[in-house]
Structure 1
Amino acid sequence: MALLFFGGHVLSEILMNEWWLVILLVVLAVFACTLITYPLRRNRLVSLLLAPIIFIMVFTGYYFWGDFARWQEYLHRNEAQELAQSMLKSIKSPQELIDKLKAKLDAQPESAKGWYLLGRLYSSQKDNQNASLAFAKAHQLKPEDEQFAVNYAHSLWQLSNQQFNPDILEIFHTLLKNNPRQPDALAMLAMHAYLSHDYEAAINYWQRLLQLAPAQSEEALAIRKAIAKAEKQINRGGKKSDR
């Protein structure tokens, strides 16, 4: 069993190497060329002309129909993942990872993704102040990215003791304007409307959010309960929306 595992591991290592794949393709092309040109061996000129054509056809065919480009992309992605995993193994604490990422961003401050990841790391450490600053940079560099905008707005909401302010509302309204089915914006604006006693607006947002949730999911059940609660407030004479 151990030998089988070792043999399988070695084989996978060989196949994962794109140069072995190229060599194997060359061998197959030579073999195909020999088979095709052998009957024409007496006509040396025809054989010499056919050989390069066969090679070109084999390599072109494999490139377009054999997914060679996708295979290379897979190899390079695997290498990047292995490098990232090796870096993570060498890191002893989240703070060390934060420090390394900050050093990278000092050298490449235009990386919106980098600032976003830094914000997520700060959030995991409950450092809301620095998380908000990092998310702000990511949002400034790439304002069209929904996830950056959502995390930035949410970090501002956390900083303001989970209270809404005009800046937070503007971000969520912009998100909803650009994408009427943006779930985070619908949920947060529904919450704001309910807390502001604008129950009809809250119901409207929740009904739109309900359309995005699987019918029998826990999320759908929670949204229906929220709608029912808002409807009770309206029946008790709560404030209604003009919208």
Structure 2
Amino acid sequence: MIVFGLFSVALVMSACLMLALPLFRHNRSDDLAERDELNKALYRQRLCELNAEIEEGVALEQDDLVSDLKQSLLDDVPVIDPGYSAGENGLGSPVRLFWSSAVVLMILSYGIYFSVGALPLVSHWQETRSSLNPLLEKLMSGQGESMTESELQDMVLGLRTRLYETPDDADGWLLLGRIALSGQDLQTGGDAMRKAYKLAPENADIRLGYAQALMMTQNKADQNEGRNVLMGLLRDEVVDLRIYSMLAFDAYRRQEYRAAIQYWHAMQQLIGTEDSRYLMLQRSIDNARSRLKEKTE
């Protein structure tokens, strides 16, 4: 905002300077000099015409005609007031005109900007930048579920601004992707996960987040790529329930019920029978078995 303020002031001052140049460049002395030169030119021209007329015999009294011409020239010379002051009369009017025009220019410039400009959005953006760290602390402390939609949007805006300044922060892109995907912003989430994956393709968390973004799309090619990333994590012996969960739901969606049952069964083995999720997984397995039976009949 400080930079914008200084830039706008400099721009308005430049406009005022361009306004002042034509006002103060031309003064009364210039007008008198121009008028005097014009009268001299007219006098010489008329004098030549008189000489030509006399030679042709059209005019006879040369001295009288020249005297009349000189008198007409003197009559056209303006009378200068003895009390004339260049500071008061010569510059008084331009100064008043300049200041009145400058005030109108500033009122119009800032008035139009405040009316149709994006000052409220810029102010909100600045506030979001300053409140990003408290929002991140709230998210990391386990209070993410209590955050409002407005706070999540502010966090996304703040993260995007920070990542614009530090584009090589793979963890920052991963966090932005997770927040965007949780808010069903698949475009922002997918772009952020892809950026993180390019920066750190060997990071297991980033690979998992990238696969999640791909699996959430409706594009078959993206889904196949996401499936390959998940299978690569299994080959690297990465143990994470989310890998099995995404593979199980993907297999169930594609009606590959045997594969879905295998993945859910692997999840049961990882969490044990004491976990409350064990029964939920068992219901999913039973449902898949029922669908498989219907499919084979």
Using the size of structure 2 for normalisation, the TM-score is: 0.45
Q: In structure 2, how many angstroms separate the alpha carbons of the residues matched to 1:96 and 1:188?
A: 29
Q: Does 1:98 align with 2:147?
A: no
The offset of 1:210, in angstroms, is: 0.8
The offset of 1:166, in angstroms, is: 1.1
Q: In structure 2, how many angstroms separate the alpha carbons of the residues matched to 1:86 and 1:140?
A: 27
CA 1:214/1:141 → structure 2, altered by over 3 Å: closer, same or farther?
Answer: same
Gaps of 5+ in 2: 1-131, 139-149
Contact between 1:197 and 1:238, CA under 8 Å: does it hold in 2?
no
Using the size of structure 1 for normalisation, the TM-score is: 0.54
Q: Does 1:185 align with 2:234?
A: no
Match of 1:84 among 96, 117, 133: 133
Q: In structure 2, how many angstroms separate the alpha carbons of the residues matched to 1:233 and 1:164?
A: 26
CA 1:225/1:93 → structure 2, altered by over 3 Å: closer, same or farther?
Answer: closer
Name the SS for the 1:167 alignment partner. helix
Match of 2:181 among 123, 132, 135: 123
Name the SS for the 1:212 alignment partner. helix
Name the SS for the 2:260 alignment partner. helix
Q: In structure 1, how many angstroms separate the alpha carbons of the residues matched to 2:178 and 2:201?
A: 17
Q: In structure 2, how many angstroms separate the alpha carbons of the residues matched to 1:135 and 1:120?
A: 8
Deviations 1:68-111 (A, max 9, x none): xxxxxxxxxxxxxxx9339979xx84444333322322222111
Contact between 1:157 and 1:163, CA under 8 Å: does it hold in 2?
no
Contact between 2:204 and 2:238, CA under 8 Å: does it hold in 1?
no
Match of 1:170 among 219, 225, 228: 228
Match of 1:223 among 281, 284, 293: 281
Name the SS for the 2:271 alignment partner. coil
The offset of 1:164, in angstroms, is: 7.4
The offset of 1:180, in angstroms, is: 5.4
Q: In structure 1, how many angstroms separate the alpha carbons of the residues matched to 2:261 and 2:135?
A: 49
Q: Aligned-residue CA RMSD in angstroms?
A: 3.2
CA 1:86/1:189 → structure 2, altered by over 3 Å: closer, same or farther?
Answer: closer
1:204 alignment partner in structure 2:
262
Contact between 1:199 and 1:238, CA under 8 Å: does it hold in 2?
no
The offset of 1:162, in angstroms, is: 10
Contact between 2:245 and 2:264, CA under 8 Å: does it hold in 1?
yes
CA 1:178/1:87 → structure 2, altered by over 3 Å: closer, same or farther?
Answer: closer
1:79 alignment partner in structure 2:
none
CA 1:238/1:195 → structure 2, altered by over 3 Å: closer, same or farther?
Answer: farther
Contact between 2:196 and 2:206, CA under 8 Å: does it hold in 1?
yes
The offset of 1:115, in angstroms, is: 0.7
Deviations 1:112-149 (A, max 9, x none): 01111222332344322111101111122112222222
Match of 2:290 among 211, 218, 232: 232
Match of 1:107 among 147, 150, 165: 165
The percent identity for this pair of structures is: 28
Q: Which has the larger radius of gyration?
A: 2
CA 1:88/1:162 → structure 2, altered by over 3 Å: closer, same or farther?
Answer: farther
Deviations 1:137-169 (A, max 9, x none): 112211222222222222222232899721121
Deviations 1:173-217 (A, max 9, x none): 111111253322211222222333322222221211111113132
Q: Does 1:213 align with 2:267?
A: no
Contact between 1:189 and 1:202, CA under 8 Å: does it hold in 2?
yes
Contact between 1:128 and 1:159, CA under 8 Å: does it hold in 2?
yes
Gaps of 5+ in 1: 1-82
